[in-house]
Amino acid sequence: MTTPSTASVSPLRYSAFPTPSGGGNPAGVVLDAAAMTDADMLGLAADLGYSETAFLEPRGDREYRIRYFSPRAEVDFCGHATVAAAVALADTTHGAGELLLHANVGEIRVRVAGAAGSFSATLTTVTPQTAELEAGPLAELLDALGWAADDLDPDQPTGLAYGGLWHPILWAATRERLAALDYDFAALTALMQREGWGTVSLLSRESADLIHSRNAFPIGGVVEDPATGAAAAALGGFLRAKGLLPSNGAIRVLQGEDMGQPCLLDVDARGSGGVRVSGTATRIGGDEAGGS
């Protein structure tokens, strides 16, 4: 069978997790990638230049295999590309309802609500996990970021959190410190590859239910991700495990503000099991590409 070249595939483009006033994180979506090789997928993701592109393969009624590629490599799970893919499927094929996606990390269930042109999606992750961030990797991480120990918020715990990918959790002592992101790209890439981290979650807690986030993503070939659903889910699981959720179990994560692409992620970590992350996605017109 002849596989398609990247030039013969026309991906859809969606911006996921926009705020009511705009922003969002762009993702590519290929609705039927069954005939594509890994090299095809990676090449198309690199051509688009988005932090992730989702590739779907139909498996049954409202059921799909989903894979995610950054410009540099396959990524086992991606929240914003999942929301983009779910809304794309709603727009083109299924309308509102439930979807079952088979990702490398396991089953991801997605509920799509709304109507054409205004769909929203809620994904449920695999069961989250937490772990300690040991002193050695923490010191290396701070060094790569150019942070000192007193740049950390002493009232918030550091650690590692998983909601499909592992993310170190660091809390900035001030919102201003979070805004001043300027890290050693090569050093952080090497550290993340060695430790198996997906992104680095840098956070500032404005209130019990409102958190500002930046997510360094050098291993994906971009400085940072404007919206990271996997990291937001991992954060929800981390806060649940630490007893730091609001009483209703819900938080809002604002991300991308400092790079001019504000994004809004609603996280529901009540109960046990997977964490729910909700947001909208809007179609990007024309052949616009690039960005992160």
How far is C-alpha 159 from the geometric centre of its chain's CA atoms? 18
Q: Give pLDDT tens digits along the chain (292 positions).
A: 334 455 568 899 999 999 999 999 999 999 999 999 999 999 999 999 999 999 999 998 999 999 999 999 999 999 999 999 999 999 999 999 999 999 999 999 999 999 988 999 999 999 999 999 999 999 999 999 999 999 999 999 999 999 999 999 999 999 999 999 999 999 999 999 999 999 999 999 999 999 999 999 999 888 999 999 999 999 999 999 999 999 999 999 999 999 999 999 999 999 999 999 999 999 998 544 333 3
- Measure Cα distances from 44 to 4, 101, 289 in Å: 11, 21, 11
DSSP collapsed to 3 states, the chain: CCCCCHHHCCCEEEEECEECCECCEEEEEECCCCCCCHHHHHHHHHHHCCCCEEEEEEEECCEEEEEEECCCCEECCCHHHHHHHHHHHHHHHHCCEEEEEEECCEEEEEEEECCCCCCEEEEECCCCEEECCCHHHHHHHHHHHCCCHHHECCCCCCEEEECCCEEEEEEECCHHHHHCCCCCHHHHHHHHHHHCECCEEEEEEEECCEEEEEEECHHHCCCEECCCHHHHHHHHHHHHHCCCCCCCCEEEEEECHHHCCCEEEEEECCCCCCCEEEEEEEECCCCCCCCC
Taking Cα atoms as reference points, which of 111, 112, 240 lies closest to residue 169?
240
Task: Name the active-site residue from 52, 140, 195, 206.
Answer: 52
Which pLDDT belongs to residue 37? Answer: 97
Amino acid letter, residue 279: G
Instruction: Point out which residues pair with 159 in neighbouring strands.
Output: 169
Q: Is residue 27 a contact partner of residue 53, using CB atoms and an 8 Å limit?
A: yes
Tally the residues of the chain.
292
Taking Cα atoms as reference points, which of 227, 230, 276, 278 lies closest to residue 249?
276
Catalytic site residue 74? no
Neighbours of 128 (CB within 10 A): 23
Could you tell me which residues come within 8 angstroms of residue 211 by beta carbon, excluding any fewer than 6 positions away? 203, 204, 205, 235, 251, 252, 253, 254
Spatial separation of the C-alpha atoms in residues 152 and 219, rounded to whole Å: 23
Structure tokens at 74: 């396959």
Q: Is residue 282 a contact partner of residue 14, using CB atoms and an 8 Å limit?
A: yes
Which pLDDT belongs to residue 6? Answer: 52
